Amino acid sequence: MTGTPVAVRIDGVDKVFRTRKGGEVHALSDVSLDVAAGEFVSLIGPSGCGKSTLMRLVADLDPLTSGEITVFGKSVEQARKDQDYGIAFQQAGLLPWRSVRANIELPLEIHGVDARDRRDRSDELLALIGLEDFADHHPDQLSGGMKQRVAIARAMAERPRLLLMDEPFGALDEMTREHMQNELVALCQETGAAVIFVTHSIPEAVFLSDRVVVMSPRPGRITDIVPLDFKARDEDLREDTAFYEGVTAVRTLLHGSEQGGPRGVENR
């Protein structure tokens, strides 16, 4: 490979689901996207446009119909086996019988990291997500926002070079959500991880992303890509003109693609 190393390469991917009644759902059509190492890319688009499907293909949870996906130059199967990425989806998916700390340490435990190193890492992550005092609590003792933070800490435990996040903040109230966005920015800066992030929130996508990928449904396609080049992703950005311009650009494209009508500034 030459130039910037690629975290995820999605090349001409189609996904057709066969339904039990013998019908077909063409979920993705000719989707191509490269995500560079360390890059933050959001997927946004109307419900049913194939965002989750695309994430599941990258994570090797479903087979693709045609095209190719590689993760750090490997097949998706190899990348899954090598656990090259952390996953955080909308449901926190914590194990209810394990403590917060034990949930965060799970991937480390699976990979045979010894108890002392596991504890050091979970201490770090508990501090990062602000849940030091909850290490010995169990998931059912936590709020939704706290559970999501634990799930994200677990996804980060092995300092993956790639995070796959499908509406991870969808269930959170606005304040917790902005707090989690700030934490995610800090985590990415700390680890240099690339992120593919699915969200319904235009401001969230714009705040977090180097590029926002706009998709349209039936079949799901990429219609536009909006690059965002902010100096810093901090609280000031949320009040910045450049931020509002980004939001407007994405909203215009999204509504254009929803109606199948004219599109805005950055056709691909």
Ligand X SMILES: Nc1ncnc2c1ncn2[C@@H]1O[C@H](COP(=O)(O)OP(=O)(O)O)[C@@H](O)[C@H]1O
Binding partner of residue 121 among ligand X, Mg ion, none, CB under 5 to 8 Å per kind? none
Q: Which is nearer to ligand X, 45 or 139 (CB)?
A: 45
Nearer to ligand X by Cβ, of 122 and 199: the residue is: 199
Check binding of 20 to ligand X (CB under 6 A): no
- What is the closest distance, in whole angstroms, from the C-beta atom of residue 17 to ligand X in the complex? 3
- State the minimum distance, in angstroms, from the CB of residue 55 to Mg ion: 8
Q: Which of 24, 9, 20, 14 is nearest to 65 (CA)?
A: 14
| Closest CB to Mg ion among residues 121, 177 | 177
Least distance in angstroms from the C-beta of 218 to ligand X: 7
Residue 179: which residues within 8 A CB-CB, separation 6 or more? none
Q: Considering beta carbons, is residue 52 or 257 the nearer one to Mg ion?
A: 52
Closer to Mg ion by Cβ: residue 27 or 157:
27
- Asked if residue 12 binds ligand X (CB under 6 A), the reply is no
Structure-block tokens of residue 151: 């799930």
C-alpha angle with apex 103: 99 to 106, nearest 5 degrees? 135
Contact footprint for Mg ion (CB under 5 A): 51-52
77 CB contacts (<8 Å, ≥6 apart)? 60
- List the single partner that 17 binds among ligand X, Mg ion, none, CB under 5 to 8 Å by kind: ligand X
Binding mask 28-57 for ligand X (x = CB under 6 A): -------------------xxxxxxx----
How many other C-beta atoms lie within 10 A of the C-beta of residue 53? Answer: 21
27 binds ligand X (CB under 6 A): yes
Residue 63 is a binding residue for ligand X (CB under 6 A): no
CB 256: neighbour CB atoms within 10 A? Answer: 18
Strand spans (E) along the chain:
6-18, 24-36, 40-44, 66-71, 74-75, 86-89, 162-166, 194-198, 211-216, 221-227
- 55 vs 249 by CB, closer to ligand X: 55
Tell me: does residue 99 bind ligand X (CB under 6 A): no
CA distances from 110 to 44, 118, 178 (A): 33, 11, 32
Relative orientation angle of helices 115-128 and 100-110, to the nearest 10 degrees: 130
CA 85, 88, 93, 98: dihedral to nearest 10 degrees?
A: 60
Q: Is 202 in the site for ligand X (CB under 6 A)?
A: no
Calpha distance 125→120 (Å, rounded): 9
Q: Are 181 and 207 in contact (CB under 8 A)?
A: yes
Q: Does 19 bind ligand X (CB under 6 A)?
A: yes
Report in angstroms how near the CB of residue 18 gets to ligand X at its nearest. Answer: 8
8 Å CB contact between 187 and 125: no
| Partner from ligand X, Mg ion, none binding residue 49, C-beta < 5-8 Å depending on class | ligand X
Nearer to Mg ion, 91 or 182 (CB): 91
Q: Does residue 131 touch ligand X according to CB under 6 A? A: no
Interacting residues toward ligand X by CB under 6 A: 17, 19, 25, 27, 47-53
